[in-house]
Amino acid sequence: MKFGVLRFPGSCDEVDAQLAAGRVGEAVLLWHRDRDLQGCDAIIVPGGFSYGDYLRAGAIARFSPMMEEVIAFARDGGLVLGICNGFQVLCEAGLLPGALLQNTNRRFTSRQVRLEVVNSETPFTLACAPGELLSVPAKHGSGRYYAPDDQIDAMEAAGQVVVRYAPGDCFNGSARDIAGVCNQAGNVFGLMPHPEHAVDPLTGSTDGLRIFESMAMAAEGVRG
Amino acid sequence: MADAGLPTVEEAMALGLTRGEYELVCEKLDRPPNQVELAMFSLLWSEHCAYKHSKKLLMTLPTEGEFVVMGPGENAGAVDVGDGLVCAFKVESHNHPSAVEPFQGAATGVGGILRDIFAIGARPIAVLDSLRFGDPGTSERSRFLLDGAVSGIGHYGNSIGVPTVGGEVYFEEPYEQNCLVNAMALGLGEREKLVRSAAAGIGNILVLYGASTGRDGIGGASVLASAELGELSEDKRPTVQVGDPFEESKLLECSLELLEAGLIVALQDLGAAGLTSSASEMASKGEVGIDIDVAKVPLREADMEPFEIMVSESQERMLCVVEPGKLDTVIALTDKWEVHGTAIGTVTDTGQMRIFRGEELVGEMPVVALVDDCPLYDLDPAPPAAPIYPPPTATLDPAADLRQALLALIASPNIASRRPLFEQYDSIVQSRTVRRPEESDAAVLQLPGGRGLAVSIDGNGRKVAADPYRGTIGVVLECASNLACAGAQPLGTTNNLNFGNPEKPHIAWQLTEAVRGLGEACRALEAPIVGGNVSLYNEGASGPIYPTPVIGMVGRLPDVTRAGRLGFAREGDAIALVGRFSPALPASELARLRGEALPDGLPDVDIAAVRATQEAVRDAVREGALSSAHDIAEGGLLVAIAESCLAGDVGATLDLGACEDAWSALFGEAPGGFVVSGDPSAIARLAEHTDVDVIGAVGGDRLHVRAGDGEANATLAELREAHRALARLFP
Amino acid sequence: MRVRVLVRPKAGILDPQGVAVEQALPALGFGGVTDVRIGRLIELEVDDPAQVDEMCRKLLANPLVEDYEVQLLDGAAGTAS
Amino acid sequence: MRVRVLVRPKAGILDPQGVAVEQALPALGFGGVTDVRIGRLIELEVDDPAQVDEMCRKLLANPLVEDYEVQLLDGAAGTAS
Ligand SMILES: Nc1ncnc2c1ncn2[C@@H]1O[C@H](COP(=O)(O)OP(=O)(O)O)[C@@H](O)[C@H]1O
Ligand SMILES: [Mg+2]
């Protein structure tokens, strides 16, 4: 299992994602200006402030050469995980539905949250039990998930709402407490909280590992 | 050189030089300085750059020790943390810019201290902040400043991917007109790869990279750092510097990659006094000359004068020295990171700073005159004849009982939970943070190989105002106590001396006494000073700030999995008061709530005894023998216990036995006291090494204490509610 | 040619900054203010103003949540989305 | 009355957003764009438009780093700071 973690100018959590993914497989950094996916089985678009989050979070990064390759990879069914800023990039790139707006509290907020696994059958949540609560940190200023109501209805029906904030834990005002969504095909997943910061008992919880383990299981399945 | 229109002595004085200093400049040059030269001298001879009122004092501080790799003088100090790694760290102030524009002032303060860290070749791994404002309850301006400073720090640190792992904030009336915003940063580097800032190699090339140069902060260093804020007229206000963390993150990665590839000879950030100070100091340290062509400097505004280019304080710029053969590779790397480098000068053997605009020579000064010849002044210290500070405004009902006092203390802005602040900071990025804010008295970061670093930043202006010497000792001891509770041994210390106008004898006395206390405490703890910063002239119309030395200390843990926690953890654990603790109310937080005047002096401190207690607590934490350890600071014993209850979400029952004065026993403050909890046998073992008094047990959902015939009782829910008091400042 | 782009949150989308400003005004003594909306102002110099609309759709605004309006500053009227 | 306030970074003050957007545009296929400045667009409904100028100075703009321009949308021209 080989993960590729994108690196844009202004990325912050790319090494953290590399370390986390490295616990379940091989993980390499991919520079935004290159075009070689280096044979990776899954791509992670990491957290941080690509291009300073200037203009709109994720707006500039999504045009990078490497993102063009990632878009093609995703269209071919490749696994793509977007975390925080990566989620914003994937929405901007049109790989995921919706948009992420400024938190209703108007502040960057960093807090441990509980995530409820709504759909445990995606390639990113295979290793979770339905309804399981994962303790994972969230830290962002623009994490309010928005999509038109009818679209969210359809997404919920189709199992595209993958994780929600547990009651009381949603500080950003997201529609229906949505924390992470996948595309229709299920191979692209974005979430605001940071599973890569929940992989070691020393620095927090280990619940986030489940996301990376799920991806490895899914990738092995595809291969096998 | 054209000598028409030379600046006058009056203009020199408006830039902050004294008449005598101007005359000395003329003597050094053998002629009056032109505009470029005067601008450069006025900056380098400012208090901020030349430390002319503090250098003699600073020379008394201990700077050497077993772990010191780089002491004061370089961009940051560094201590050895084992396995060939060093921790670089330093604290800096951005007080005056933050008073003008708190968001950008605080943001650029963080940007500046981070550049100091990577300028020596260390990757920044943590930021801490130390903040002082007026009373947030009554002062709208203080709330505005607090809100702006906290968002600015978060904006910069979060965006650049360096965790803000700790800090401190206090609210006292003397900071109303002159807030303090200090920021500390830590970095990790390989000992063998540290780089110094001395320019070397005649014929080598100076490359400037990063942001373009605009009119930011022109006059900043001389005007902002050397004049009392109240004297600043509107037209002297410099342009506000705007921070760009995105640019800095590229600058950081590019600088570390340049160093890793061995492409540069020397590296220096551009901070206060911009190109003037960075180039001159590089030349001075390398004992060489430098030629700079300002026409080559990429500008944000086309029409800038040579002197403006030389003094601009535009942020996010670095200067490096490169061998000619490596220039193309260096430029290519700066292009990769989009921080486009430009060759702007050369290293010469002239011993002169020569400034050109194209072919035209527009300034020429001996490096030695610029950097080393600024006169140093002796202070004229004298203790104040009458109290300097009015008593704080009383907010506690004089009839309050112990329980009401406890709840008022827990809700005091100086003690209430800092969560609404630190939740605006990313404290976990880089995956090193083992103890987040409110989990331990010091932040703890993991290092390769299972070891750890602990760091704390502390200050207590009120106590230093009451007794500059003993108060400062108390601050250094508190910082080391915080490390001890995490299980760490101090390796080195940084400090920021925030004081009023040193030309006034009573301020000079505060400064002198504080530095004496600082040196003595650091010597006794073997925690030498490896760097720091001085911020003087912190005064408003109603007087000086409390003298505020801010101390940052870095320590190490052999086994990071055993880092201490401050929260009670297990029902049934014994609670003990540890240390030879002699609590006293004068200058305490309770005295502030009661509106009591500051005492004239504090009790003597036995530093060696405190150190011994710290070592005993540290060793017990390192053995994993204790469930919790917390030092007793603001609010005294009962507040420390309440904090341990809140952090562990469990109550406690205490009986202090016979007790002459329950108020002093419960709320009095002094250095050297700790509250620990653990298995009774572990506490008994601790008693073999230091004074230990078992006073109660962990359990239940309330805090209940009996002291003599006094008694207090509060539920966890009541304590938690009081502790949330700061949340309303951030609606 | 100098071009101005006004980007606004779409009707119906919560604008927390606008709400905060609206709530802060009465305390500062400003009554009678309603419906505050905060967006982005982008001004740029372009060789070819015909490009601007595409630039807006692709980069300067997010059509799912924002409306934009282009104003050509040296005369001529603008186009709105 | 509907009022529009344009808030811009002051001349000479660094505009990191504008710089970043300007540098990114060529790679996105938009050449010939220079001097990008990014500010805020504030639109509000006010009973008394005469108040707006003071509102800008006190709350809507930060006079240390920003200039503002007020446009009355139902006719009449605006005032600039
Ligand atoms: N300004 C601040 N920025 C970040 N963290 C802070 C700040 N102030 C306090 N904290 C954190 O909040 C916790 C409690 O702070 P404080 O009560 O000042 O601790 P102490 O009494 O040990 O000095 C610590 O973890 C500290 O690092
Ligand atoms: Mg403490």
Q: Which tokens sit at B311?
A: 């003094």
Residues of chain B with pLDDT > 90, as a percent, come to 89
Identify the top-confidence range among B88-92, B660-664, C17-21.
B88-92
- Residue C80 counted as domain residue: no
Q: Which residue of B has its CA nearest to A13?
A: B429
Q: d(Cα B7, Cα B472) in Å, to the nearest integer?
A: 44
Residue owning the nearest CA to atom 6 of ligand 1:
B167
Domain count, chain D: 1
In CATH, what class is B395-429+565-731? alpha beta
Residue owning the nearest CA to atom 20 of ligand 1:
B441
- Residue C31 counted as domain residue: yes
Q: Specify the pLDDT at position B219.
A: 55
Q: Is pLDDT at C79 greater than 80 in this prediction? A: no
Instruction: Read off the pLDDT of residues A8-65 as tens digits, 9 standing for 90 and up.
Output: 999 999 999 999 999 999 999 999 999 999 999 999 999 999 999 999 999 999 999 9
Instruction: Read off the pLDDT of residues C11-69 as tens digits, 9 standing for 90 and up.
Output: 999 999 999 999 999 988 998 999 999 999 999 999 999 989 999 998 999 999 999 99
Q: What is the mean pLDDT of residues B627-645?
A: 98
Within 13 Å, how many C-alpha atoms sit on residue B26's CB side?
A: 14
If pLDDT is split at 50, 70 and 90, which confidence band does A222 have? low
Name the least confident of A70-79, A98-107, B351-360, D9-18: D9-18
Instruction: Read off the pLDDT of residues B527-564 as tens digits, 9 standing for 90 and up.
Output: 999 999 999 999 998 899 999 999 999 999 999 999 99
Q: What is the mean pLDDT of residues A75-84?
A: 97
Taking alpha carbons only, the member of B729, D63, A105, D60 closest to residue C30 is D60
Q: Is pLDDT at B106 greater than 90 in this prediction? A: yes
Q: Cα separations (Å) of B681 from B484, B568, B573?
A: 20, 17, 10
Q: Specify the pLDDT at position B4.
A: 52
Taking alpha carbons only, the member of A90, A110, A63 closest to residue A189 is A90
Q: Which tokens sit at A63?
A: 């045009």
Longest C-alpha distance within chain C, in Å?
A: 46
The mean pLDDT value of chain A amounts to: 96
CATH 3.90.650.10 fits B195-373, yes or no: yes
Residues B428, A19: C-beta atoms closer than 8 Å? no
| Domains B195-373 and B395-429+565-731 agree in fold | yes
If pLDDT is split at 50, 70 and 90, which confidence band does B240 have? confident
Q: What is the mean pLDDT of residues A168-196?
A: 98
- Residue C42 counted as domain residue: yes
Angle, in degrees to the nearest 10, between helices B35-44 and B274-286 = 70
Give the 3-state secondary structure of chain C.
CEEEEEEEECCCCCCHHHHHHHHHCHHHCCCCEEEEEEEEEEEEEECCHHHHHHHHHHHHCCCCCEEEEEEECCCCCCEEC
Q: Specify the pLDDT at position A81.
A: 98
Q: Is pLDDT at B225 greater than 50 in this prediction? A: no
Q: What is the mean pLDDT of residues D33-44?
A: 95
Residues C17, A63: C-beta atoms closer than 8 Å? no
Indicate which of A63, A100, A146, A171 best probes the interface with C, i.e. most C CBs within 10 Å of its own CB.
A146
Please give, rounded to a whole number of angstroms, the shortest distance from the CA of D32 to a CA of chain C. 5
**Residue B94 near residue B132, CB atoms below 8 Å:** no
Residue owning the nearest CA to atom 13 of ligand 1:
B438
Residue B112: what are its φ and ψ, rounded to 5°? -65, -45
Q: Is pLDDT at B613 greater than 50 in this prediction? A: yes
Amino acid at B422: F
Question: Residue B319: which residues within 8 A CB-CB, separation 6 or more?
Answer: B206, B207, B208, B267, B268, B269, B270, B275, B278, B279, B282
- Residue C24 counted as domain residue: yes
Q: Specify the pLDDT at position D46.
A: 94
Question: Residue B192: which residues within 8 A CB-CB, separation 6 or more?
Answer: B84
Q: Specify the pLDDT at position D11.
A: 83
**Residue A58 near residue A50, CB atoms below 8 Å:** yes
All structural domains of chain A: 2-219 (3.40.50.880)
Instruction: Read off the pLDDT of residues B114-146 as tens digits, 9 standing for 90 and up.
Output: 999 999 999 999 999 999 999 998 999 999 999
Domain boundaries, chain B: 195-373, 395-429+565-731
Q: Which tokens sit at C14?
A: 């919560």
- Residue D12 counted as domain residue: yes
Q: d(Cα A194, Cα A202) in Å, to the nearest integer?
A: 16
Q: d(Cα B333, Cα B250) in Å, to the nearest integer?
A: 11
Query: Chain C residues within 8 A (CB-CB) of chain A?
Result: 13-14, 16-17, 20, 40, 58-60, 62, 64-65
Dihedral angle of Cα D51, D57, D59, D60, to the nearest 10 degrees: 90
- Residue D43 counted as domain residue: yes
Residue B268: what are its φ and ψ, rounded to 5°? -155, 140
Q: Is pLDDT at B147 greater than 80 in this prediction? A: yes
Nearest CB among A13, A108, A202 relative to B429 is that of: A13
The mean pLDDT value of chain B amounts to: 94
What's the gap in Å between B631 CA and the centre of ligand 2? 5
C-beta of B413 in contact with ligand 1 (< 6 A):
no
**Residue A10 near residue B249, CB atoms below 8 Å:** yes
Q: d(Cα B141, Cα B194) in Å, to the nearest integer?
A: 43
State the CATH number of the domain containing residue D22.
3.30.1280.10
Q: What is the mean pLDDT of residues D73-79?
A: 59
Ligand 1 atom at minimum distance from B168 CA: 8
Q: d(Cα D47, Cα D1) in Å, to the nearest integer?
A: 6
Instruction: Read off the pLDDT of residues B279-307 as tens digits, 9 standing for 90 and up.
Output: 999 999 999 999 999 999 999 888 888 99
Rg, Å, chain C Cα set: 15
Domain containing C32: what range?
A: 2-72
Query: Which residue's structure tokens are 């791994």?
Result: B125
Q: What is the mean pLDDT of residues B415-421?
A: 97
Q: d(Cα D12, Cα B308) in Å, to the nearest integer?
A: 13
Name the least confident of A147-156, B159-168, B228-237: B228-237
